[in-house]
Each structure stands twice: as C-alpha cells, then as structure tokens.
Amino acid sequence: MGRIIKKVPIPMAGLMLGLAALGNLIQSYGDVYRNILGGISAVLLLLLILKIVADPKGVKESMDNPVVASVSPTLSMGIMLLATYIKPYYPSVSYGMWIVGLGLHVVLILYFTKKYLLNFNIKKVFPSWFIVYVGIVVGSVTAPAYNQAIIGQYLFWFGFISYLVLLPIVIYRIVKVKGIPEPALPTIAIFAAPASLCLAGYINSFPNKNMGIVGFLAALSLIMLAAVLLYMPKLLKLPFYPSYSSYTFPLVISGVAIKLTNGFLAKSGNPIAWLKPIVKFEEVIAVLFVLYVLIKYIQFLFSSPKATTVKA
C-alpha cells in the first residue's frame, strides 16, 4: 500500500474528478452506475489525501512544476462534486465538504496567481491554466444543491470572464510559441472543458437564462470538443503520463453541458432534434475515455517501479 501511495501523482485528481462527473452524466441510466463511479472516485480522493499527508515535501516540490500546479485544483473541483453524492444521507457533512472544496479552490487560485501569474512566463502557460481560473465554476454547477444559486452566479461570471481572457493567451502559447513538453501534451484535451463547464454552471445557477449566452457557450462547447477529438489520435499515441487525466473531465463535462442544454431547450419549447444523437455520442465517448484512463492508471500504480519513471 505504501508503494502505491508513493506513486500516486497529484494529476490523478483529474481522473477522480472525471469519475465523479461521469456518475452524474450517466445517472439517468441508473443510480447504480453513479454510485459505482462515485465510489471509485472517493477511493482515488482517499489515495490523494494519503499522498498529501504521507509525502508533503514531495507534493510541495511537485507544485514547482507549472503543469502539476495548474492541474492541482481538480482536487478541489472533485471534492465539490463528491460532496453532492452524500447530500441525501448526510446533508450537513455534504455542505461542509462543499465549502471545503470551494475554499480550497480559492486558496489554490491565490497560490497559483502569486507563483505563476504574477511571475508571468509564456512558456509556463498550458491549457491546464483553465483549470485554475475556470474550474471554480464547478461551484456554479453544484451550488443549487445547497440553495446557493447566488454564489453560483458569481462563480460563473468569474470563471466565464477568466475563460475569455485566457483563451487567446493559451491559443497563442500552443499555436505560436509551441514547444510543449511531451508529458504536458495531453493537457491540450483540456480545451474541451471551459466552455462546457461554463454552460453547465450557467444552466444550473441561473433561473432566468439568456438564450444568447446559452447559444454562444453551446456552440463553443461543440467546436472545442470537435477540435479536441480531431487531435485525440495524436495524443493517444503518447506513452502514459499522469496528465492522461486530461482526457476525462473535459469529455465528461462536454456531455453534461450538452445534455443539460438539450433538456433546457426541450422544456422551454425550443427543442433541437439533432442534439439528442450528439448527447448519446458524447456519453459513449466520455465513458470510453474515463474507463481507458482508469485502466491506464491502475496499470501505472501496480506496475513495477522501473516501468513507471514518468513525469507530470
């Protein structure tokens, strides 16, 4: 067990988040699937907590890597999502857990801003920067469960504005500056997440929705997902890195967002027939990629030490 804990990388939090989100995406097919995925996600959260407690020095050193530092808020995002799983059974504990997740994300934003944003270096910019500043919109997705829609709305605007500011900078970094280290290349898949997360947060936290915002974010969500899927064959040729976690939540939240959009449009009397097959397609893609990454992580954690000398 100790050997496994030692090998647990902080980016595994992305897989933990992806599993929790996938449980919500496919809950409509049965609570049993949600419970299984939530249970696996909770096990990964426990492993991550044990890692932080057992090796604080190693975790602190890993935060000197801008990719790891910018991926670390998936931990707080996952905590916020998992909190909703236990709400029906322990509402007070669930709310406390949600507050802890939200507070931790704010702390990580402040830490990252001081360490990397205020000491800006374009070569240290990666798509994972979206996780830091837009990831807090998970609070918008989950806030209504605690009757905190107003907080959810503020979190949405923070994340949405951050996304609009970061998008051209990150695109410039990827397209013009280039030179992304191989272990960080999987983070390109994160491009699929921000617009979709903002869309899901907007639909959940705003009772009166602006069709223009819904349309803009839905279109952007579909475009970004299509771009990532077109690039995915290249990414899948890479050897395993902990950054493989980037293949999970972005694809899951894309499915969640379009599924919510489809439901919203149907209820408002403006159904779009072609969205239904897209929702089904995104659900299948999300399940396949999350299971694929989960298997890769299991192989990584239980493989011999000489086979696991990977970074990021």
| Residue 1, pLDDT score | 80
Determine the pLDDT at residue 202: 99
What domains appear along the chain, each with residue ranges and CATH number? 2-307 (1.50.10.150)
Q: Which of 132-146, 202-216, 242-256, 298-312 has the lowest mean pLDDT?
A: 298-312
Q: Does residue 311 surpass a pLDDT of 90?
A: no
Mean pLDDT of the chain: 97
Residue 162 pLDDT greater than 60, yes or no? yes
Q: What is the pLDDT of residue 306?
A: 56
Q: What is residue 272's predicted lDDT score, i.e. its pLDDT?
A: 94
Residue 146 confidence (pLDDT) above 50: yes
pTM of the model: 0.96
Mean pLDDT of 98-121: 99
pLDDT (average), residues 89-93: 98
What is the mean pLDDT of the segment spanning 208-235? 98
Would you place residue 308 in the very low, low, confident or very high pLDDT band (cuts 50, 70, 90)?
A: very low
**pLDDT band at residue 37 using 50, 70 and 90 as cut-offs:** very high
Q: d(Cα 59, Cα 99) in Å, to the nearest integer? A: 23
